[in-house]
Structure 1
Amino acid sequence: MNMHIQKVFYSIFLCFFYGQVMQAAEKSGASIVPAQLTCEYRTNPLGIDQRQPRLGWLPQATNGNAYGQRQRAYRILVATDSAALVRKKGECWDSGWIQSSDTQHILYQGKPLTSDRVYFWCVAVQDEQGKISAYSPIAKWTSALFDEKDWTSSWIGTGDTYDPKMKDCNLDDPWFRKTITLKETVADARIYVASIGFHELYVNGKKIGNPILTPAVTDHSKRARYVSYDIAAYLHRGQNTIAFWLGTGWSIYAPYATADKPRSPLLRAQAALYDTRGKQLALITTDKSWKTHPSPNKLLGNWSPNNFGGELFDANKDIPHWNLTDFSDKSWQHAKEFQPKLALSAQAVEDNVLFQEIRPVGIASLPNGDYRVDMGVNFAGWTEIEVKGSPGKRIDFHYSERAQEEMTFKNRSAYIIGPTGQGTFRNRFNYSSGRWITIRGAKEKPELSAIKGWAMRTGFAPVTEFSCSDSLQNWIYDRILWTYSNLSLGGMIVDCPQRERMGYGGDAHATSETGMANFNMAAFYEKWMQDWRDVQGTESMVGDMNDPSWARKNETSGRIFNNGILPHTAPTYWGGGGPAWGGIVVMLPWSHYQHYGDLHILKDNFNLIKTWIAYINTHVHDHILQPYGGTWDFLGDWLWPNATAEGMNNNKAENICFNNLYRVYNLRTAVRIALAIGEKEQAQEWRKQADLATDAINRLFYNSKTQLYADGSMANQALALLSDVAKADDRGKILEQLTQNILVKHQGHIHAGITGGALLFKYLRSVGRHDLLYSMLKQETYPSWGYMKANGATTIWEMWEKDLPGHSLLHSSFLYPGAWYIDGLAGIKPLRPGYRSFVIQVPRSQDVPISWVKTAFRAPNGLIKIHWQREAGRLQLETVVPPNTVATLKVPKEDLIQLLPDEKRIRRLATEENYLVFELQPGVYHF
């Protein structure tokens, strides 16, 4: 079928087919039908550069009142013609009937894929009785460019370069354009766009798609990511203009400076255009024939910590219709070609999106003539402000996290009024972070309706809804998710969006489990792990600057060692940390595997893990990890209460103890990873290292009389238990000391920081000590999350202290409770990777005095619901177990759960201490 008709057919057929699937399922009598098809974790993705992409679906029950629905087999069809699938013909791949209950991470096993093609696919399943379902609605993906030889375009730029001596960036964000003539109708066309710095794409004046600050953040000393756009519908016979607006952004970032490219925005793009018969009509490629001109937009600041700045738009330099065909670009300059040595990868993570509009709650006139806008909430994102002033007048916008400060961390933008005397500033290639905006230079006070904001994040989907009877817990949960969202920019979690924008490994401990419990982060974290692979072999860009042996290059660039060393951030290099920062390359893949059940992330990162551990071992003497690096390279826990006054104890026994406990925890996790992928010899070697280190730690740091490790901090006690360093006979006593530390010594408050707190919460969650977790989360005095609420916070702070100079009020430090609300209060935890089997464990009333919890969690293998409520000493419980899974329900003995006589679908299991245990097959249950 020709491509144009095929596209129309696909759209009409898809709408029709959705309505027919359930009817066909009913006729077949199948208890399930496949739905929610994904490829590489996304729906109908463009530009997949995997030759064997992973396919997935969810079995959906056809009868909500039935039980025990399971998949026994599946059959996948893949074709380049959607009409072929209607005829049940998969010319690229017909898997035949595969006897398997697997529904996720199914590798494509058909004919070799071709670059730049559309592939349609569908799947049918057999249920638990062997009845065959209707085929799913047709899904699709498009392949990207698999080989370097597929790229025939050149990298182009203006030839200008960034001057680091300038206070503000000296570069204008450039425009590029090219006009082509088409003699026939284009039926199929995708353009692949790689850029150093951000880009926007226009075809005949129309902006294509809605990506924000694209592509995702990437180590541009090694790699460029390209984004795919479908442009066929925007092309026509005759003349057509392809245009780009580039934003400076990461193109001038010091760690990405290399000799083979200028520090300025670069572009590489190409598109093959096909007619209705699939014949190539034209090939669009970037080269020196493209024309370029400065745009009216430019970066304020220099894209470095404490000076990421904002944007300046000069309306007097604007050129209407610059991206239209009838515009004359004769006076424009020709682009210059470059040959940077960069690997090209398709962007395999969602674009940034504007996910919530924010309206101001007030505006005040200040004595000096400025205006102060209160947006009502701290956020990272874009603003749009209508202003009036004399032509040529500059209007400045200063953004602040604090009511008492005009500007924090040099977050600022500006607008120069054009000849009309009015205009609208709106972000394009940068973002601000704050709650308050000071407007300086405006002719009159703006109306509230003339000011808007939008919070921004990577466009992953939320998967969880949670609420409970405790209003403080609802506030903490909500503000944690709000903060996490505002930090998830460009395919990494930044520590803070206003000051550093660094992807810290230590902070990932504090955020990653919360992220996966509440959002679909599968593709996001796979992308971030590629960033960690890219930066390996280069040291971080901090240290003892007074030590000549730690000297950096001219502009804070870390030395390249080409070994297993890891900087403390990826893909950003800058920043301090310690073993728990680089060690995220072990912990994050394992957490990802436990949550999503995909072994590929373990295999893809196994060499990274091996070389990281080998590097750490070079600093081990007598089985004890010794302090290494500069002042900022051996941090343990970070930002515990009053930490700035106490100092960052890099060489104190408690810090060395923490890092050695963490090393063992890293090793034991690596053992699990090695066993999961069949690397038995490596697992044995790491187990031996962990055992030897365990003995040495217990000799040096454990006081058997007091049952304390080093200083007995919450972090060290919890990590000794979590890492299995604590001896079996002593574990109960060590936990009791931890309990006394929390409840008595600190009167129920937390006394830990970023990494220590994350690992403390992880351990307590793993052993079900909800009483201790709730004790720390119910506090409203310093230090606590409730203290932040009591002091007017709308986001989670960097430090426990209020308003310490120079610290961020929107930060990744203390987001780790966000996972507990789902696996603790709701009690949903995986028993098998990917939640094919899982636990629902209702907390005991004496541990958590909360009267009700309601959660809907879209796990990787289906929607799990739990609603429990205690009233007058009586527990009511409703739960949904999705098809193709099995749940283990654990209910406190004192709740005396009652079963109906005919509950054959429920199997009572062996009773555990304090809990009655039942096995539940798929279905809806009310107790």
Structure 2
Amino acid sequence: HGLYEFYLNGQKIGDEVLTPGWTTYYKRLQYQTFDVTKFLNTGPNAVGAMLGEGWYRNSWEHNWGYYGKKLAFLCQIHLRYTDGSEEWVVTDGSWKCSNEGPVRKNEIYYGEDYDARREMPGWSSAKFDDNRWRNVVVANFSKSNLVAANSVPVRKIQEIKPVRFFITPKGELVADMGQNMVGWVRLKVKGKKGRTVTLRHAEVLDKYGNFYTDNLRGAKQQIRYTLRGDKAGEVYEPRFTFMGFRYVAIEGYSGDLNTGDLIGVVVHSDMAPTGTFECSHPLVNQLQHNILWGQKGNFVDIPTDCPQRDERKGWTGDAQVFARTAAFNMDVAAFFAKWLQDLAAEQRPNGAVPFTVPDVSDMPDSVNIGVSAGWGDAAVIIPWTMYEVYGDRQLLERQYASMKAYVDYIHKKSGDSLIWKGGSIWGDWLFYHPPADHLNYFILPNAHTNHEFISTAFFAHGADLVSRAAAVLGKNEDAARYKDLFEKIKKVFVNEFITPSGRTISSASQTSYVLALHFNLMPEHLRTAAMNYLKQDILQKKKHLATGFLGTTYLCHVLSENGESELAYDLLLQETYPSWLYPVKMGATTIWERWDGIKTDSTFQDPGVNSFNHYAKGAIGDWMYQAVAGLRLGEPGYKKILIQPHLTTKLTYAKASFQSSYGEIASGWERSGDKITLRVSIPPN
């Protein structure tokens, strides 16, 4: 329980960090296995572990010790001797422990306090004198929740040197890493014994150039290192926490800082890179960079919403809107397979799916939890997306019961009306609407989307995907039943939410048209009219989007698939707020939670909801890869490939590559005068 580092004869075993990761602990607690043969000595050996709070004993919702109050460690070493005999070394009452070590405080939100004066050299070696240590307490925890680890290991992936050190107007010494990153810094320091160096972490500076942490809410994100006074210098990096930051404020450091004294250590799940994208527009290339770094920073064992404030949870809606983009950039098959097992474990007996997985917001046995359309739908959309990208029928089979249970839950909630009332708590989260003091406030109506419209649309989409999944798995009766359910919901949806002229009841909402068109809920004879209404709204807003989390994912797809590719390019290349490139122009190196996290006057949005590393709106990446570069899958797993770029005069070239299970696929085009060259690479098999 908690996090651990495992040592044998003074050496740390394995290169993983933040083990054993975060799962639905009371149902799934992962154990790891290592081959330790080369670390064994002839004669006496010593084994030990350092434990940290981790996700297990973090202060979730100000509820410290949500999963339990006691840290614990379970270990067994299986020895096979050359003479054929065997021996087991296990954790039992003969082990000893101490809480007098150098790690004085640690927590996911807080950071870590480390007092190097308390270090115990050789503590995990056979010669160490442990007379002052006490015997452990043998716990009686159930082992029924133990499962072999199937998570992608979290590792130290990359190192970054600061691009500059500077003094803020308030007199703070700050290092700029040049990139909003997730992990920690490795500190190299020399000084007097007992001196404490404090490192505080932030994503942005305020309009005056000062260190800004209001958007962290209750998270401290700080490191406090107390020197032992080694004249040769000391090197330290934390073990049991991580931070989201670009800037580091340094207090208590004596002497001059060099770039080698403070190294950024980038930490995330070790997923193989699979996709590349590039085009002739430098801001779009920076957007792709930001999408990729947003994924790195938020794929730390689970897909989190953000990596810095007092949240860092597995928000289901964020994960489902971004899953397709994520699967292009990196191999996320195993990453999502593990997380989906926790989603199914958290799913209530009635089929309800909580907002976050793992769920630390509600009592684990409660069925009366909040469920929101577009969030709970991760149970259906992500398994189907993984099947499409990787062709993995086994994952689809394993998650099928969860997919069905969620759609059946909505069906029961909707009753005979088939309208899911009260099913959209979050709506189209963080959609655009002009501020009250904006000149156009009374001209441009609020882009709010009716919540029953959203929930019923996702109900229909879920039924459609379950029908398709059933067909793939040979469950023909289910396929027919959920297809029929989809058609019935569609009929009700049209009667309730679509006018005879093709308008939606949320006519000022781009998202309403996007969902109706993308989910095939708009009657065929009204699709052209609906597209015209969507186009008119975008043009009325001077070629700006107004979508939130749910609509943004599909917006450009709907435009390009219905003859409006140029308008989709206008949205992609728009540089003023609200747009994808506005944050890029404002210096973003990751995707922001809000379209205007930093306003045009350089002030900030509401600090309570203002992350600067929040990948959801980076879902535009999927359209860039498929439509701009033209690299599309024709059949699940890229067994068949479509090369179908939507050409434009707004770019001179675009290209993308993807490492599929069949080999590398590449698509790229280049314009030179009135000539267009298309270059394609297809795996031979």
The question of a shared fold, defined as TM-score above 0.5 by the shorter chain, is answered with yes
Are the counterparts in 2 of residues 709 and 720 from structure 1 also a CA contact under 8 Å?
no
Conserved? CA contact 1:399–1:406, under 8 Å = no
Specify the code of the residue in structure 2 equivalent to 1:608.
S
Are 2:46 and 2:124, in contact at CA under 8 Å, matched by a contact in 1? yes
Post-superposition offset of 1:639: 0.7
Contact 1:203 1:243 in 2 (8 A): yes
Distance in 1 (CA, whole Å) between partners of 2:97 and 2:2 is 16
Question: How is 1:98-497 mapped onto 2 (pairs within 5 angstroms)?
Answer: 196-253=1-58, 262-276=68-82, 279-294=84-99, 295-300=101-106, 303=108, 308-341=109-142, 342-365=144-167, 370-404=172-206, 405-408=211-214, 409=216, 410-420=220-230, 423-497=234-308
Q: Distance in 2 between matches of 1:261 and 1:697?
A: 42
1:594-633 to 2 correspondence within 5 Å? 594-628=388-422
Deviation at 1:255? Answer: 6.7
Counterparts of 1:636-785 in structure 2 under 5 Å?
636-642=427-433, 654-705=450-501, 707-742=503-538, 744-764=539-559, 769-785=564-580
Structure 1 residue 622, shift from structure 2 partner: 4.0
1:471-502 deviations in Å (ceiling 9; x for gaps): 12211111111111111101434444443111
The structure-2 alpha-carbon separation of the partners of 1:370 and 1:871, relative to structure 1 and needing over 3 Å to count, comes to closer
1:817 is matched with which residue: 598, 601, 620?
A: 620
Q: Are 2:397 and 1:586 aligned?
A: no
Deviation at 1:867, TM superposition (A): 3.0
Structure 1 spans left out of the alignment, 5+ residues? 1-195, 538-561, 885-927
Contact (CA 8 Å) 1:567, 1:573: kept in 2 or not?
A: no
Q: Partners of 2:92 and 2:463 in 1: how far apart?
A: 50
Instruction: State the alpha-carbon separation in 2 of the partners of residues 698 and 536 from structure 1.
Output: 30
* CA distance in structure 2 between the partners assigned to 1:685 and 1:220 by the alignment: 36
- After TM superposition, the structure 1 stretch with the greater mean CA deviation from structure 2, 691-700 or 375-384, is 691-700
Q: How does 1:37-116 map to 2 (within 5 A)?
A: none
Q: Which structure carries more relative contact order (alpha carbon 8 Å, separation 6+)? A: 2
Alpha-carbon deviation of 1:635?
1.8
* 1:281–1:830 Cα change, 3 Å: same
* 1:793 aligned partner, one-letter code: A
State the 1:712 CA deviation.
4.2
- Which letter does structure 2 place at the counterpart of 1:230? D
Equivalent pair of 2:449/2:511 in contact (CA under 8 Å): no
Aligned AA for 1:599? R
**Paired residues of 2:96 and 2:134 also in contact (CA < 8 A):** yes
1:510 partner letter: V
What's the CA shift string for 1:25-44, capped at 9, x where partnerless? xxxxxxxxxxxxxxxxxxxx
**Cα offset for 1:577?**
6.3
What secondary structure does 1:816 align onto? helix
Any idea what SS the aligned residue of 2:659 has?
strand
Q: Which amino acid aligns with 1:223?
A: R
State the SS of the aligned residue for 1:528: helix
Give the partner amino acid of 1:820.
W
- The one-letter code of the counterpart of 2:166 is A
Note the alpha carbon deviations across 1:713-754, whole angstroms, 9 max, x for none.
111101111222111111121122222222x12222211111
2:601 equivalent in structure 1:
none
Q: How many residues align?
A: 650
Describe the SS at the equivalent of 1:736: helix
Map of 2:351 onto structure 1: 564
Which one-letter code corresponds to 1:564 in the other structure? G
Q: Is contact 1:507-1:755 (8 Å) kept? A: no
Q: Contact (CA 8 Å) 1:506, 1:577: kept in 2 or not?
A: no
* 3-state SS, counterpart of residue 336 of structure 2: helix
Partners of 2:190 and 2:229 within 8 A in 1: no
| Residue identity opposite 1:683 in structure 2 | A
How big is the shift at 1:772? 3.1
Deviations 1:211-245, CA, capped at 9 Å, x for gaps:
12122211112221111211111113211112212
| CA shift digits 1:248-285 (9 cap, x unpaired) | 111214679999984232211212122346x3432121
Conserved 8 A contact 1:248-1:264: no
Q: What do the CA deviations read for 1:85-110 (whole angstroms, capped 9, x no partner)?
A: xxxxxxxxxxxxxxxxxxxxxxxxxx
Q: Which amino acid aligns with 1:795?
A: T
Distance 1:577 1:478, change over 3 A: farther
Give me the whole-angstrom Cα distance separating, in 2, the residues matched to 1:642 and 1:454.
Answer: 38
Q: 3-state SS of the aligned residue for 1:357?
A: strand
Quote the offset at 1:388 in angstroms: 4.5
Which of 574, 580, 583 matches 2:361?
574
| Stretches of structure 2 lacking an aligned partner (at least 5 in a row) | 363-369, 599-603
Instruction: Provide the secondary structure at the position in 2 that maps to 1:268.
Output: coil
Paired residues of 2:419 and 2:492 also in contact (CA < 8 A) = no
Change (3 A) 1:518 1:653: closer
Give per-residue Cα distances to partners, 1:790-830, cap 9 Å, x unaligned: 11112111101122132111112311012222211221212
Q: Distance in 2 between matches of 1:689 and 1:261?
A: 39
Give the greater-gyration-radius structure (CA).
1
Which amino acid letter does the alignment assign opposite residue 571 of structure 1?
Answer: P
Q: Is the 8 A contact 2:25 2:67 kept in 1?
A: no
Q: What do the CA deviations read for 1:866-919 (whole angstroms, capped 9, x no partner)?
A: 2321212112222221122xxxxxxxxxxxxxxxxxxxxxxxxxxxxxxxxxxx
Structure 2 CA distance for aligned equivalents of residues 357 and 578 of structure 1: 39
Conserved 8 A contact 2:667-2:681: yes
Normalised to the residue count of structure 1, the TM-score between the two structures is: 0.67
Q: Is the partner of 1:563 in helix, strand or coil?
A: coil
Residue by residue over 1:352-388, the C-alpha shift from the partner in whole angstroms, topping out at 9 and shown as x without a partner, is 1222211112223468764222222211111012335
Q: What TM-score, normalized to structure 2?
A: 0.89
State the alpha-carbon separation in 1 of the partners of residues 166 and 281 from structure 2.
35
Q: 1:772 to 1:527 in 2, by over 3 A?
A: farther
Give the 3 Å change call, closer, same or farther, for CA 611–261 of structure 1 in structure 2: closer
- Cα distance between partner residues in 1 of 2:477 and 2:679: 46
- 1:748-897 → structure 2 map (5 Å cutoff): 748-764=543-559, 769-801=564-596, 802=598, 803-806=604-607, 807-845=610-648, 849-884=650-685
